Amino acid sequence: GAPAERDAPPAEEAVAPLVAASAAPPRRSADVPAAEDAVPPAAPAAAAPAAATAPARAAAAPEKPSKSIAEVKEGMDSATREGLRQVLESNRVLLDEENFQIKMSARLEFERRHHGDPATAAFQDEAMALEILRDVARLLEIYATASVDVEGHTHTPDSKLDEWSHELALNRAEKVKATLESLGVSPERLNAVGKPGRHGTGRSEVLFSITHL
């Protein structure tokens, strides 16, 4: 199931609208919209999006580590700090210290999949993806005790939020996780999560949320 459903409120009244919104009849013949950054259309039932938004936001904000990124940096020796400076000066990745996230200046582009096709994940440009993720791996080498959620987000309208969309989002996260592992990051430090449509940002992207430092 989607992470959002695990975080749904215990009350039955709150769960029911989410189930109803997620179970819209699938449209197998329709394609995913071409405009990746277009705003997904609102669900026809006015109450459903409101009820579903709360758990989606909760799922997008994992519990923050007790130690701050700045505190970890304070404990670094001069050589490690210099390595951190060099990685960040590449401008391919940045540290969002307030939100405990590693972000990429360039979006990882995946080959497009139409709704109902095999939900496989492949980079549009493998070499560029490796260049970006190599810097992510270097950051995780510097912050050697950090664990992260690798979040696969998709631009999926509510009408197509089904098992297929969750599978696509998760497979994209798994693809990035496998690439980081090939670059030397221990798999025990990485957790792949799929967040399609309103269960995440609603954009086609991958984010890294730091869950432990």
0.85 exceeded by the pTM?
A: no
Reduced to 3 DSSP states, what percent helix, strand and coil does the chain have, rounded to the nearest 5? 45, 15, 40
Sheet holding 147-154, edge to edge: 93-96, 101-104, 205-212, 147-154, 190-196
Q: Which of 42-46, 66-70, 128-132 has the lowest mean pLDDT?
A: 42-46
d(CA 107, CA 28): 28
Q: Domains in the chain, start-ordered, CATH in brackets?
A: 62-212 (3.30.1330.60)
Which pLDDT band, with edges at 50, 70 and 90, does 211 fall under? very high
Burial of 177 (0-12, 13-18, 19+ CB in 10 A): buried
Q: Mean pLDDT across the stretch 26-43?
A: 43
Cα separations in angstroms, 69 against 73, 96, 210: 6, 9, 10
3-state secondary structure 75-95: CCCHHHHHHHHHHHHCCCEEE
> Which tens digits make up the pLDDT trace of 58-76?
344 556 776 788 888 888 8
Tell me the torsion sign for CA atoms 149, 154, 160, 164: negative
pLDDT of residue 169 exceeding 80: yes
